[in-house]
Amino acid sequence: MNNPQLDADGRLKHLLSIEGLPKKILNQILDTAESFVGVAEREVKKVPLLRGKTVCNLFFENSTRTRTTFEIAAKRLSADVISLNVNASSQSKGETILDTINNLIAMHADMFVVRHAQSGAAHFIAQHVPAHIHVINAGDGRHSHPTQGLLDVFTIRKYKPDLHNLRVAIVGDILHSRVARSEIHALTTLGVPEIRVIAPKTLLPTQVEKLGVHVYHDINAGLKDVDVVMMLRLQNERMNGAMLPSVQEYFKTYGLTQERLALAKPDAIVMHPGPMNRGVEIDSSVADGRQSVILPQVTYGIAIRMAVMAILAGGQAGGAQ
C-alpha cells in the first residue's frame, strides 16, 4: 500500500496521522524527543539543525497552544517561522487552499504545519507539494492530531516506562476527538495491552471496539485499577444538537473528581490535552493535584514537535544512516 507519509526508503516524509506509521518510526520520534528535552534546560535553548529553513504555520482553524508550541519548536531548531491565521485573510477573500500553498512555496517555504477543520486537509496539501517540502498535520477535523498523540505517549513513557504493562483509560468526548483516535493508534502500536474508552453512547463513534479498545459507559467501573487517565475536552463547538442533557449533568456522570480518581491505581497519572473545561470534564482539585501531569504534557509537546521537524527536514540528498 502506498503510504504518503513515507518515502521509498521507508523514511518519514510527512507526518499526517499515526495510523500507518510503523513502530520503528514512532520510537525514533520518541527517542529523538528525549534528546530535545534537555535543550530547553540549557543556557542557549537552540540547536542549529533548521538554520536557513522556513517553516509556515498554516492555521485554518484557531488553536493558540498548538500554534505556539509548533512556533517555539521551530524557533528552537533555528528555523524562520511564519504563522498565518488563514481564515482571517486570504480564504475570506476567496483564495483556494492550493493557491495559498503555491504562493508560500513561491516564497521558498520548506515546511508546512497545517491545522484545518476539514478531515484530510493535510493529506491533500501533502499530495500537491513538491518532493522537498514537508507537511505536518497539526489537527484535521475529527480525523487525526498526530503530534498530540505522540506527546501523550511520550508523557506516559516518561512516568510509566513499561508500556507493555499498562492499563490506560481515555475518558470523554471520543466521538469528536481526533486526539483520542491518534492516542489509540499510538498506544496500540507501541504495545499497551489494555485501552479503555469511557463515555456515554452519544459521544462514542459507532464500532469503536474495532480499534481494539474496551468500552465502558460507567466511569467508576472504567477507572478501576488504571495506570493512566486521559481526559478529553467536551467539544461544545463541534456538537450539533443536544447530545447531552446539560454540562452539569455531564460533570455529575463523567467528570473526573478526587473520589473517582481514587478508584485508579494510587500512582495513576492524569492527563488532558487542553484547553480544560474546569468543572465540566475535570474538577479543579484533580487538574491541579499531585497526580496531574497536564503541564509536563505541554513542555514535552515542544520536544516532540522539535523531533518531528528535525527528522523530516534532514537528509534530502542522500540515504539514511
Partner 1 sequence: MTSRKITLPDAEVLLQTLAEKLKPLLQPNTALVGIQSGGVWLMQRLLTMLDSTIAANHIEHGTLDVSFYRDDYAQRGLKIETRPSQITFDVEGKHIILIDDVFYTGRTTRAAMNELFDYGRPASISLVALINRGGRELPITPQITAADITLHSNQNLQLIQNADGILSLELQTSSE
Whole-Å CA distances, 38 to 126, 247, 300, 304? 31, 41, 11, 12
**Cell numbers 543556557: residue:** 43
- Residue 39 engages partner 1 in binding (rule: CB under 8 A): yes
SS3 318: coil
Please report how close the Cβ of residue 41 comes to partner 1 at its closest, in angstroms. 10
Q: Supply the DSSP string of 101-150, one letter for each residue.
A: HHHHHHTT--EEEEEESSTTHHHHHHHHS-TT-EEEEEEETTTB-HHHHH
* Cα 134 from Cα 296, distance rounded (Å): 28
Going by C-alpha positions, the residue among 135, 106, 109 that lies closest to residue 121 is: 135
- Residue 49 engages partner 1 in binding (rule: CB under 8 A): yes
- Residue 317 engages partner 1 in binding (rule: CB under 8 A): yes
Taking residue 107's Cβ as centre, other Cβ atoms within 10 Å add up to 10
Cβ proximity to partner 1: between 246 and 316 the closer is: 316
Contact region with partner 1 (CB under 8 A), list: 43-51, 81-89, 108-116, 257-265: 43-51
- Residue 95 engages partner 1 in binding (rule: CB under 8 A): no
Contact region with partner 1 (CB under 8 A), list: 30-38, 227-235, 243-251, 255-263: 30-38
Going by C-alpha positions, the residue among 287, 246, 251, 250 that lies closest to residue 269 is: 287
Please report how close the Cβ of residue 118 comes to partner 1 at its closest, in angstroms. 31
Q: Which of 10, 22, 23, 31 lies at the binding interface for partner 1 (CB under 8 A)?
A: 31
Q: Which of 6, 11, 194, 265 lies at the binding interface for partner 1 (CB under 8 A)?
A: 11
E strand or H helix that includes residue 251 = helix 247-254
Residues forming the active site: 65-66, 93, 115, 145
Please report how close the Cβ of residue 22 comes to partner 1 at its closest, in angstroms. 13
Going by C-alpha positions, the residue among 6, 4, 47 that lies closest to residue 26 is: 6
- Residue 8 engages partner 1 in binding (rule: CB under 8 A): no
Please report how close the Cβ of residue 36 comes to partner 1 at its closest, in angstroms. 8
* Cα 321 from Cα 306, distance rounded (Å): 20
- Residue 44 engages partner 1 in binding (rule: CB under 8 A): yes
Total binding residues for partner 1 by CB under 8 A? 26
Q: Residue 44 carries which side chain, given as an amino acid letter? A: V
- Residue 22 engages partner 1 in binding (rule: CB under 8 A): no
- Residue 34 engages partner 1 in binding (rule: CB under 8 A): yes
Q: According to CB under 8 A, which residues from 172 to 211 bind partner 1?
A: none
Q: Which of 43, 94, 106, 240 lies at the binding interface for partner 1 (CB under 8 A)?
A: 43
Q: Which of 10, 22, 23, 35 lies at the binding interface for partner 1 (CB under 8 A)?
A: 35
- Residue 299 engages partner 1 in binding (rule: CB under 8 A): no
Please report how close the Cβ of residue 13 comes to partner 1 at its closest, in angstroms. 11
Q: E strands within 39-104?
A: 54-59, 80-85
E strand or H helix that includes residue 197 = strand 194-198
Q: Which residues bind partner 1 (CB under 8 A)?
A: 11, 28, 31-32, 34-35, 37-39, 42-44, 46-49, 310-311, 314-321
